[in-house]
């Protein structure tokens, strides 16, 4: 089994549960030494990326809708929104894995780890959603995360800068207040899932940070100035606080960057 080709095959699967199982199986095979990694082949993107189900309906972010977490439907909508983020995160990890040739083997192993953990997160949230009487796809979702994945498909440096260390890093800021609100609403099971997500997401952002810095070093680029230039070139969202400074520090952001978030 070749890792990048298998990752692309999983990315094209439009069944979320089957995609999660495929990622788990690929991760297990890699740990067992049953895969090889072709780091050099330039792979062309086939149609149908990413594979995803007909539902949820994808709408602009402001049309997703929100409900009070004081109602069962409101809590279900929040869990659904989180599941949708994690499903997209599985796809983005798989895309980072197959798309970019010429990286060290550890890069591909790192992104397989991310895909595996994101698939577990999706499964946990999807299973919890079913206990609330709903299923993934019952509410609309937006496509902002994947839109940036598509925009950065031409350069691994831009991908590392603007997906894991920009959009995914927002999860480090968002999860603690969400966890507090959903626990106060009485859904302790969802709160415990968010605890797990936060721990893992620190690691995922750290992987993005590490490879961003490695690429900047290899290309002779200054990381902060390069990041600022990339955010303008790719029209990345402007980040607004409050920021989880400790979470970002644990995820590898430099003290110079953190000063900009205070």
Domain of 17, CATH number, reads: 1.20.1260
Residue 217 located in a structural domain: yes
Angle among Cα 199, 205, 207 to the nearest 5 degrees reads 110
Give 198-207 pLDDT, tens digit per residue.
999 999 999 9
Q: Given this model, what pLDDT does residue 166 score?
A: 95
Place of tokens 């961003």: 212
Q: How confident is the model at residue 172 (pLDDT cuts 50, 70, 90)?
A: very high
Residue 60 located in a structural domain: no
Please provide the DSSP assignment of 163-224 as one string: IIIIIIHHHHHHHHHHHHHHHHTT-HHHHHHHHHHHHHHHHHHHHHHHHHHHHHHHHT--HH
Q: Given this model, what pLDDT does residue 65 score?
A: 74
Q: Given this model, what pLDDT does residue 238 score?
A: 85
Give 119-139 pLDDT, tens digit per residue.
999 999 999 999 999 999 999
Q: How far is the C-alpha of 67 from the C-alpha of 81, rounded, in Å?
A: 12
Give 31-85 pLDDT, tens digit per residue.
999 999 999 999 999 999 999 999 999 998 878 877 778 888 999 999 999 999 9
- In the chain, the number of structural domains is 1
Tell me if 89 sits within 8 A of 201, measured CB to CB: no
Lowest mean pLDDT among 7-21, 53-67, 121-135, 174-188: 53-67
Residue 59 located in a structural domain: no
Which tokens go with 190?
Answer: 């969802």
List all residues 6 or more positions away from 154 whose beta carbon is below 8 Å from its beta carbon: none
42-55 per-residue burial string, b: 16 or more CB within 10 A, e: under 16:
eeeeeeebbbbeee
pTM over 0.95: yes
List all residues 6 or more positions away from 252 whose beta carbon is below 8 Å from its beta carbon: 205, 206, 209, 210, 213
Tell me if 36 sits within 8 A of 3, measured CB to CB: yes
Burial class (CB in 10 A: 0-12, 13-18, 19+), 164: buried
Residue 58 located in a structural domain: no
Is the pLDDT assigned to residue 105 strictly greater than 80? Answer: yes
Q: How far is the C-alpha of 46 from the C-alpha of 183, rounded, in Å?
A: 43
Residue 122 located in a structural domain: yes
Q: Given this model, what pLDDT does residue 69 score?
A: 83
Q: Given this model, what pLDDT does residue 61 score?
A: 84
For 208, the domain range is: 3-53+65-260
């Amino acid at each position: 089994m070749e890792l990048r080709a298998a990752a692309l095959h999983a990315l094209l699967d439009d069944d979320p549960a089957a995609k999660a199982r495929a990622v788990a199986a690929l991760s297990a095979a890699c740990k067992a030494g049953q895969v090889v990694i072709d780091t050099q082949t330039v792979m062309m993107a086939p149609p149908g990326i990413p594979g995803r189900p007909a539902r949820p309906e994808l709408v602009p972010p402001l049309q997703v809708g929100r409900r009070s977490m004081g109602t069962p439907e409101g809590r279900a909508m929040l869990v659904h929104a989180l599941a949708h983020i994690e499903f997209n995160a599985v796809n983005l990890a798989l895309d980072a894995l197959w798309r970019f040739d010429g990286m060290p083997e550890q890069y591909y192993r790192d992104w397989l780890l991310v895909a595996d953990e994101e698939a577990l997160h999706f499964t946990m949230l999807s299973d919890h959603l079913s206990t609330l009487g709903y299923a993934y796809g019952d509410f609309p979702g937006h496509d902002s995360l994947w839109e940036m994945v598509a925009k950065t498909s031409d350069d691994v440096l831009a991908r590392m800068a603007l997906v894991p260390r920009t959009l995914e890093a927002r999860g480090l800021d968002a999860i603690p207040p969400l966890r507090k609100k959903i626990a106060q609403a009485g859904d302790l099971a969802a709160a415990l899932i968010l605890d797990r997500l936060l721990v893992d997401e620190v690691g995922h952002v750290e992987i993005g940070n590490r490879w961003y810095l490695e690429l900047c070093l290899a290309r002779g680029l200054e990381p902060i100035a390069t990041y600022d230039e990339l955010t303008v070139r790719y029209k990345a969202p402007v980040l607004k606080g409050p920021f989880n400074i400790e979470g970002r520090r644990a995820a590898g952001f430099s003290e110079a960057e953190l000063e900009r978030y205070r």
